[in-house]
Structure 1
Amino acid sequence: MTGETEAQRPTISVVIPAYNEEDYLPACLDAVMQNLAGKAVEIIVVDNNSTDGTKAVVERYPEVTYVFEPRKGITRARQRGFIASTGEILAYVDADTHPPEGWIEQIWEQFGAHKNLACLSGPYSFYDLSGIRNKISTGWFVAARPLAGLTGYLMVGGNFAIRRDVLDKMGGFDSTIEFYGEDVDIAKRAKKHGKVLFSPRFVMPTSGRRMKKQGFAKIAGIYFANYFSIAFRGKPATRGYEDIR
């Protein structure tokens, strides 16, 4: 640790975008309450115009702030959370993640140790994939490291923390990006204002539902195509996307 006292630590807002997540959100919020509550200054769920019982799930957790964003799209939900939050650092997780013990402490540790750190991210582990499927799915983070060496940035959208002042300088999130490539765009623009660190220790358990539904090879191909497209062309290669619930 950096030796910072609790009073010196930056405040952290946890933001969880959610669209029709009544099935996955309860486990996410249970993990948040167990491991993050009392450490984050606030926990915000951004309901991205859900048509199911997402709001009712949030209402079962009095400590969680409910915010509604009527324009569907992950970047719009992230932006709504940015506007509604107050923390000096915004920590974004997805509604199908299980934030683990020690996760917020790593944010404090890394931002305390690297004064020029703009954005912190780390790999996923997949709690609902087993055996070889899990190993293959987590292996792409190793395969992606040469890209990070080439460009200087790598992050995943369901597991990152970013300084508020960096987001201000970036002009917030790019709402013209519907889904694929939004994480690459965030990292690329954040790098203009400091270091973007991808820490192998900063692991987030998440669902492999998209890989199970669409296949690892397809998802990996889409991600790499959009990484290169955002990095070198400034716009995503893929426009459409499928909601996996």
Structure 2
Amino acid sequence: MSDRPDPFVSVIFPTRRRREYLRVALESVASQVRAHRGELLVVEDDPADPATERLTADHGARYLSHGAPRGLNAARNTGAAAARGTLLCFLDDDVRAWPGWLSALLTAEERCPEHLVFGGPIRADLENTNLHACGREPLPVTSLDLGPEDHDAEFAWGANLTLRRRAIDMAGGFDESLDLYGDEEDLQRRLRAKGGRVRYVAAAGVDHRRAGPDARLNALATAAYRRGRNSRRYDGRKHAMPALSAEMRTLVGCLVHTVRYRCGNGIVMTAHTAGRLREALAPLPQPPAAADPDFLSGESGTLNRRSRTSGAARDAVADLLSAPDRRQLRRAARREPPRRRVLVVSIGRPEHAAVTAAAVAELETSRHDVAIRVLPPKPGAGKWVNLNAALAAQPLESEDWLLLLDDDVVLPVPFLDPFLFAAERFGLRLAQPAHAYNSNAAWRVTRRRPGVLARTTSFVEIGPVTALHRDTFATLLPFPDLHMGWGLDVHWAALAAERDWPLGIVDATPIRHTRPVASAYPRERAVAEATTFLAGRPYV
């Protein structure tokens, strides 16, 4: 490990005026960090506290302060920005790291260069508590035990979370709008969507402490109630909220557990479920948000379980009623337009390989001359940088159409022949297939309209499926070096208006976008990129 930069590892503690907890945490890691020539940082999510600053200095750590509370994830982002290491270890301020914690992480990091996230055991430690627990359920403090061996895991928890710096860059940092629940899970979901892997390191453990009044039953139940409210809110963000009846059954089960086993932990579990029910019946008001920029739709378009089911039913009815028209369209598309040259480009992530393969198989059935390039994403590069790289490797020469295809799209059967027939019949220069009802789509104008072949619009999306006619290549290519590309569609619309290019949506070939918009990156980062890109550029 001698060839690593100095410091290679940064250990970061977000905190908020919890000096006694922080003292134990710093004592447990300071010597380990010195032994590996790392650095220690403490980020105060509050106005600066001289006593905490002195404590931090006593352990050889740097002290940073927000000046006002901004939240746990904001403190993590502040620490990551200030850290000099390329391996970032985030610890809660109420943990005690095990001896050898850092050595185990560094060994795992070196042995697993393809992994982006590392975590280890988190053992609950209630000091001098009055909680009587029967032992059938875990203690009411975040804990994790995935066994005695190192292996891949779905998630690591934020109390003991280590990231390579490039993971922060890929994910765009922690989402600062999240509070208390889902804060670290959200970032890992974005990383996993890009192929990132998580490694559980069995020897890199910490004790998760509750001490003094915090270890008493009343405080544990109060904290559980708050976590319950936040967990229900985060379930809503993921569109995975259980039905109210399921929450009620859980509450009854917790009450029965409390009485049957004379278990104080049942009281805490009851408080947690009560918090979830309270949030379901009377949601806490969300912090006021600034108005969305005018280049956004104002809607997420993300399906939940109910809208997905109802959307699938509406699609089935629409398909049944439009079956005669679709048969006629398929017959016409066998003859017109003349055989075209089409280049299809897609950036394919491994986790979407099956969906991409099905789309490619469908495109290959076309009567047109179709060339398909599916390339893996370049690590750290955005969609549009990757698309430019793909087009540089295969320049457009005699192609009539360029089709941009996301890797999480289900195409109808048949797709390309009727789609091109309709696009050319309407003289479109930028075209997209409509979204099915059972599709994640942010713009209402892009939803399918039964009984309509196609329609001209003043706007088309940049994905998940977009077709560019050869007349647009000189103006639109190469694409701007953007990551997410928000705002590019409204800029294209302005360019099209200037050049009298017809734009439109083909309703006869509705596609299904399987993943929510912005599921692989923070929405705030996409908005910021779009704001910068559109500054000084025309858009509609």
TM-score scaled by length of structure 2? 0.37
Q: Name the structure 2 match of 1:6.
A: 2
Q: Name the structure 2 match of 1:146.
A: none
Which structure has more relative contact order (CA 8 Å, sep 6+)? It is 1
Deviation at 1:37, TM superposition (A): 2.2
Assess, with a 3 A threshold, how the Cα gap between structure 1 residues 49 and 80 changes in structure 2: closer, same or farther: same
Q: Name the structure 2 match of 1:243.
A: none
Assess, with a 3 A threshold, how the Cα gap between structure 1 residues 71 and 196 changes in structure 2: closer, same or farther: farther
Q: Is 1:45 paired with 2:46?
A: no
Q: Name the structure 2 match of 1:77.
A: 75
Contact 1:184 1:230 in 2 (8 A): no
AA in 1 matched with 2:31: Q
Q: Name the structure 1 match of 2:98.
A: 100
AA in 1 matched with 2:205: V
Corresponding residue pairs, total: 226
Deviation at 1:171, TM superposition (A): 1.2
The C-alpha deviation readout for 1:135-191, integer Å capped at 9, x for no partner, is: 622796469xxxxx9xx6222111010010110121111111122210211221222
Distance, in Å, in 2 between the alignment partners of 1:225 and 1:140 is 19
Deviation at 1:128, TM superposition (A): 3.0
Distance, in Å, in 2 between the alignment partners of 1:70 and 1:219 is 25
AA in 2 matched with 1:208: R
- Residues 46-55 or 168-177, more deviating: 46-55
Contact 1:17 1:77 in 2 (8 A): yes
Distance, in Å, in 1 between the alignment partners of 2:177 and 2:237 is 13
Percent identity at matched positions?
Answer: 20
Q: Name the structure 1 match of 2:31.
A: 34
The C-alpha deviation readout for 1:87-126, integer Å capped at 9, x for no partner, is: 1110011111112221111212222222220101123113
Distance, in Å, in 1 between the alignment partners of 2:142 and 2:169 is 34
Assess, with a 3 A threshold, how the Cα gap between structure 1 residues 157 and 196 changes in structure 2: closer, same or farther: same
Distance, in Å, in 1 between the alignment partners of 2:116 and 2:233 is 22
Q: Name the structure 2 match of 1:203.
A: 205
AA in 2 matched with 1:187: Q
- SS for the counterpart of 1:24 is helix
Contact 2:142 2:208 in 1 (8 A): no
Contact 2:98 2:204 in 1 (8 A): no
Distance, in Å, in 2 between the alignment partners of 1:118 and 1:193 is 10
Distance, in Å, in 2 between the alignment partners of 1:134 and 1:231 is 33
Q: Name the structure 2 match of 1:156.
A: 157
Distance, in Å, in 2 between the alignment partners of 1:114 and 1:167 is 18
Distance, in Å, in 1 between the alignment partners of 2:231 and 2:181 is 10
Deviation at 1:79, TM superposition (A): 0.6
Deviation at 1:56, TM superposition (A): 3.1
Contact 2:121 2:145 in 1 (8 A): no
- SS for the counterpart of 1:180 is coil
Contact 2:48 2:66 in 1 (8 A): no
Q: Name the structure 2 match of 1:171.
A: 172
- SS for the counterpart of 1:92 is strand
- Residues 203-212 or 24-33, more deviating: 203-212
- SS for the counterpart of 2:207 is strand
Distance, in Å, in 2 between the alignment partners of 1:115 and 1:107 is 12
1:119 to 117, 122, 125: 117
Deviation at 1:77, TM superposition (A): 0.5
TM-score scaled by length of structure 1? 0.76
1:214 to 200, 215, 220: 220
Deviation at 1:205, TM superposition (A): 1.0
Deviation at 1:50, TM superposition (A): 4.8
Distance, in Å, in 1 between the alignment partners of 2:226 and 2:215 is 7
Distance, in Å, in 2 between the alignment partners of 1:200 and 1:179 is 25
Q: Is 1:60 paired with 2:58?
A: yes
Distance, in Å, in 1 between the alignment partners of 2:200 and 2:168 is 18
Structure 1: 5+ residue stretches without partners: 144-148, 241-245
Distance, in Å, in 2 between the alignment partners of 1:49 and 1:55 is 12
Contact 1:46 1:81 in 2 (8 A): yes
Distance, in Å, in 2 between the alignment partners of 1:125 and 1:219 is 21
Assess, with a 3 A threshold, how the Cα gap between structure 1 residues 164 and 198 changes in structure 2: closer, same or farther: same
AA in 2 matched with 1:6: S
Structure 2: 5+ residue stretches without partners: 147-151, 241-275, 285-540
- SS for the counterpart of 1:13 is strand
Assess, with a 3 A threshold, how the Cα gap between structure 1 residues 228 and 211 changes in structure 2: closer, same or farther: farther
